[in-house]
Structure 1
Amino acid sequence: MAVDRRTGPGSAPAGERREGGAAVRRRAWGVLALLVCLMLVNYADKVVVGLAGVDMKKDLGLDDAQFGIIQSSFFWLFAVGSILGGWLGGKIRARWLLAGIAVLWALSLAPMAAQAGFATIVACRILLGFAEGPTTALAMQVAHSWFPAHLRAVPSSIVVAGAGIGPLIAAPVLTWVIAEYSWHMAFGTLAVFGAAVALMWLLAGDSGPETASTEHGAAGGPAVLPERVPLTRLFGTGTLIGMMLLFFVAYANTSVKVSWLPLYLREGLGYDAETAGNLVALPYLGSAIAVILVGFLSRGLTRRGIGNRMTRAVLPAALVLASGVCTIGFSSLDRGAPQMALLILGSCLNSAGYGVAFAGLADVAPARQRGTVFGIVTAVYSLGGVIAPMVIGKLVASGESVAAGYGDGFMVLGVTMIVGAAIALMLAHPDRDAARLAARA
């Protein structure tokens, strides 16, 4: 636990403490920037298949169902990687673990820079999903180790913003690479960038000081938690149950956006490749901005004395619920500016609460178990990424028309999001559950 150490016999002079604190803060923001780079590459890797989808389907003779399998295969071992990575996060230094994960990304992308068939692509996507499974959980664990509990909403949101910045940059750039060269070159480009980011992290990235990672009970933070709580008790709390459900439906939306949005714009709505590539970037731009704004909003509300239930549970759940309404709305409209506005707004609302929701999870999870908890939560919500792309693929294949199939798919997705967010809204209560866990210690 962080302790207020005042000047006294044997203590460091105040000037030295201030200089040391300033150095830690500078290092914290530098590491946070590297985590954003990791998330940037992580999500660029996810979106590339959607961007290259039309060319891949033509080149390899794939139908919608087969392409749905390719998209879904990314998530087949995602949960395994999430749980394994969360477990290893407490045993291997973050410097080595995240660098090794990023190297695996590059290795999984490299074969598709050459000629590759359906089976090879599926195998590469499975490996990539396994390697990327623990990334978000580990990035959050590292970010939280550099910042005290009451200041984590903004850093968490900045890490999540990297997930929006990645596709934002990748969509127009990779669309250009595919148009000018080939879809193979797009995968090769990402392999090179993945290796470069792995090297950057190896040179300058690592976890924060133990005092930051174990602090509880700060102003606006939760009750003092024990060092360890049985996982069955942790995952029996309303906060963990509600947040897992919230993440599940939100990630279903995210995975559909990553997997099918470029194809929906081209095949369902009839936009050309260049226009679709530019339009795909807009939801990610809005999401990156929205997630940071909500992080600052959450921190501002906390400073005003508003409890963590409102700032880290009700707020993200309400955003996902509103996103579900937008998803139903744009699925019911014809192509045009109003439809695109609802699509972008829905994407922004869905992503905006991720960062503060992870901060809510950290309020309940003891520091020494945070990696494991984040890994298990990520594994559970990744199932949304397994199910949603396959459902969309089947609905597109069985629809009266391609456009009608997409409309049905997004309608189902929107309803699912509303139901899941409403249940999470009722269950999640970080302050209450942290107090109960502390009382039973």
Structure 2
Amino acid sequence: MKTSASLQDINTLENNNAKIGGNFRWGIVTLILVAAVINYFDRSNLSIANSTIAKEFGLSSTQMGFLLSAFLWPYAIANLPAGWLVDRFGPKKIFSGGLTLWSAVTVVAGFTSGYGTLYALRVLLGVAESPFFTSGIKVTDMWFSDKERGLPTSVINTGSQIANAVAPPLLTILMLTLGWRGMFVVIGLMSIPIILLWLKFFRAPTRAEYAEIHREDDTQLHQAVSEQTKVDWGALFKRRSTWFMIIGNFCIMFTIWVYLTWLPSYLENSMGMSIKETGWVASIPFIAGILGVLCGGSLSDFLVRKGLNPVTSRKVPIVAGAAFAACSVAPVPFVHSYGLSIALLSLGYFFSQLPQGAIWTLASDIAPSDQVSSLGSIQNFGGFLGAACAPIVAGMVLDATGQFTDVFMLGAGLLLMGAISYAFFVRKD
């Protein structure tokens, strides 16, 4: 009787722990979402202040262009080791370390007095921010099952879209009030409460919580939380799916970053809008993008719960989103109605964001749990290679043709290529 009572007490305690974990995990997702918004403020501040900084430092347009791209290349490359580090040492250490470093870099950038120093700090910012989304995918893999992790992963990814929508007016107000240096300092200090909360509250799930969360998952894809794991990072490059995830994400992210870098210019130069009008109109596609990220993640979870294979369930919003985005983007340069153009641009951005949460979740469905961040970061490396190429290639096309027609057609073609890569060549090996 004593033994039975003890076992009952243990089972009751484990069940209570699992329930507590169920409430706790959404708090962690919310914390990462807030960090994502601040993360993108740190990336966007230079774009807001570019003309002011160029004037103060006496920079040419070419120098400013290199400065604006200084973040993207190191960010893309640093994603490769960042995922391995998160898998090896866990998201608590790596996320808090990266967050502390990128906050410090942003604050120090507010006190720089030369082009070279500011350029070096932007490179360092790209390295420091590389563990962010890989940490997020590791957390959702820990705390959410196959049938439910698409939505929390998408919630985390909405942080970038929220920031893209609110950064221009908010950061402009800060710059006009405090100057560009004060804006940098304030944005850097925003991360301090997040760092403290993360260090205090984040933890891995207990055995009982992990067992409850993953009780219906494929046991070959998950390991016990306390098990010592070895990450064979290089083996991922021997899989065909890894390379087509890189190619597919490159193609999709290329078009997204054409939006991020050239949309205001298109609205001003091709559609004749004023700067004031552009500031408001340019935010409409990004609002649509918030909905796209959430819809993609929710759709993939719904399909898993209906019994569809998890990998196929993630690929549905990825492939459909990329294909429909291509169909929306291609007609834009041939439309002369303001309303229809904005509608197509918004639809295109909505569909291009549909894959974003599912893309990250796909990595956790394909890779073993000790390689989730590694595969996610390798895929993100491909995406940000596309992001880094987008403003340069688009600028070259514009210099050669003087119009956006070929830019949109190139984007549509790459979106279709991305859809094909994920549809036919990415699968669980």
Moved more, 132-141 or 114-123: 114-123
Q: Cα–Cα, structure 1 residues 317 and 236, in superposed 2: closer, same or farther, change >3 Å?
A: farther
CA contact (8 A) 1:67 1:393 kept: no
What residue number does 1:175 align with?
172
Q: Is the aligned partner of 1:323 residue 2:321? A: no
Partner residue of 2:40 out of 13, 19, 43: 43
| SS of 2:331 mapped into structure 1 | helix
Q: Give, in whole Å, the separation in 1 of the partners of 2:49 and 2:267.
A: 13
Superposed counterparts of 1:225-304, under 5 Å: 225=221, 231=233, 234-266=236-268, 269-304=271-306
Q: Deviations over 1:109-128 (max 9, x none)?
A: 22443464433332222111
What residue number does 2:190 align with?
193
Alpha-carbon deviation of 1:264?
Answer: 4.2
Q: Cα–Cα, structure 1 residues 256 and 107, in superposed 2: closer, same or farther, change >3 Å?
A: farther
Q: Cα–Cα, structure 1 residues 335 and 157, in superposed 2: closer, same or farther, change >3 Å?
A: same
Alpha-carbon deviation of 1:62?
Answer: 4.3
Q: Give, in whole Å, the separation in 1 of the partners of 2:405 and 2:134.
A: 32
Alpha-carbon deviation of 1:395?
Answer: 3.3
CA contact (8 A) 2:86 2:131 kept: no
Q: Is the aligned partner of 1:393 residue 2:389? A: no
What residue number does 2:307 align with?
305
Q: Give, in whole Å, the separation in 1 of the partners of 2:151 and 2:260.
A: 24
What residue number does 1:89 align with?
86
TM-score by length of 2: 0.86
CA contact (8 A) 2:233 2:374 kept: no
Q: Give, in whole Å, the separation in 2 of the partners of 1:262 and 1:189.
A: 26
What residue number does 1:348 align with?
350
Q: Give, in whole Å, the separation in 2 of the partners of 1:309 and 1:301.
A: 10
What residue number does 2:144 align with?
147
Equivalent AA in structure 1 for residue 199 of structure 2: L
Superposed counterparts of 1:203-222, under 5 Å: 203-209=200-206, 219=216, 221-222=217-218
CA RMSD, 1 decimal: 3.0
Moved more, 364-373 or 171-180: 171-180
What residue number does 1:125 align with?
122
Q: Deviations over 1:194-215 (max 9, x none)?
A: 3343233223334444676799
Q: Give, in whole Å, the separation in 1 of the partners of 2:313 and 2:273.
A: 39
Q: Give, in whole Å, the separation in 1 of the partners of 2:183 and 2:335.
A: 33
What residue number does 2:410 align with?
412
What residue number does 2:220 align with?
224
Q: Deviations over 1:224-261 (max 9, x none)?
A: 24867855654444543332222212222333333343
CA contact (8 A) 1:32 1:155 kept: yes
Partner residue of 1:362 out of 361, 364, 371: 364
Moved more, 29-38 or 205-214: 205-214
Q: Give, in whole Å, the separation in 2 of the partners of 1:236 and 1:214.
A: 31
Q: Give, in whole Å, the separation in 1 of the partners of 2:73 and 2:20.
A: 42
TM-score by length of 1: 0.84
Moved more, 340-349 or 241-250: 241-250
Q: Cα–Cα, structure 1 residues 114 and 261, in superposed 2: closer, same or farther, change >3 Å?
A: farther
Q: Cα–Cα, structure 1 residues 327 and 71, in superposed 2: closer, same or farther, change >3 Å?
A: farther
Unpaired runs of 5+ in structure 2?
A: 224-229
| SS of 1:90 mapped into structure 2 | helix
Q: Cα–Cα, structure 1 residues 216 and 10, in superposed 2: closer, same or farther, change >3 Å?
A: closer
| SS of 2:7 mapped into structure 1 | coil
Equivalent AA in structure 1 for residue 385 of structure 2: L
Q: Is the aligned partner of 1:98 residue 2:95? A: yes
Equivalent AA in structure 1 for residue 410 of structure 2: V
| SS of 1:76 mapped into structure 2 | helix
What residue number does 1:108 align with?
105
Partner residue of 1:24 out of 16, 21, 24: 21
| SS of 2:87 mapped into structure 1 | coil
Q: Give, in whole Å, the separation in 1 of the partners of 2:27 and 2:165.
A: 22
CA contact (8 A) 2:15 2:208 kept: no
Moved more, 329-338 or 70-79: 329-338
CA contact (8 A) 2:40 2:160 kept: yes
Q: Give, in whole Å, the separation in 2 of the partners of 1:134 and 1:355.
A: 17
Q: Give, in whole Å, the separation in 2 of the partners of 1:226 and 1:360.
A: 14
Equivalent AA in structure 2 for residue 322 of structure 1: F
| SS of 1:77 mapped into structure 2 | helix
Q: Give, in whole Å, the separation in 1 of the partners of 2:212 and 2:333.
A: 45
Alpha-carbon deviation of 1:55?
Answer: 4.1
Alpha-carbon deviation of 1:36?
Answer: 0.7
Alpha-carbon deviation of 1:191?
Answer: 1.4
Equivalent AA in structure 2 for residue 293 of structure 1: C
Alpha-carbon deviation of 1:9?
Answer: 7.1
What residue number does 2:423 align with?
425
How many pairs align? Answer: 420
Alpha-carbon deviation of 1:29?
Answer: 0.7
Q: Cα–Cα, structure 1 residues 424 and 127, in superposed 2: closer, same or farther, change >3 Å?
A: same
Q: Give, in whole Å, the separation in 1 of the partners of 2:363 and 2:13.
A: 34
Q: Give, in whole Å, the separation in 2 of the partners of 1:299 and 1:107.
A: 37
Equivalent AA in structure 1 for residue 320 of structure 2: A
Q: Give, in whole Å, the separation in 2 of the partners of 1:250 and 1:407.
A: 18
Q: Give, in whole Å, the separation in 1 of the partners of 2:220 and 2:5.
A: 26
Moved more, 49-58 or 76-85: 49-58
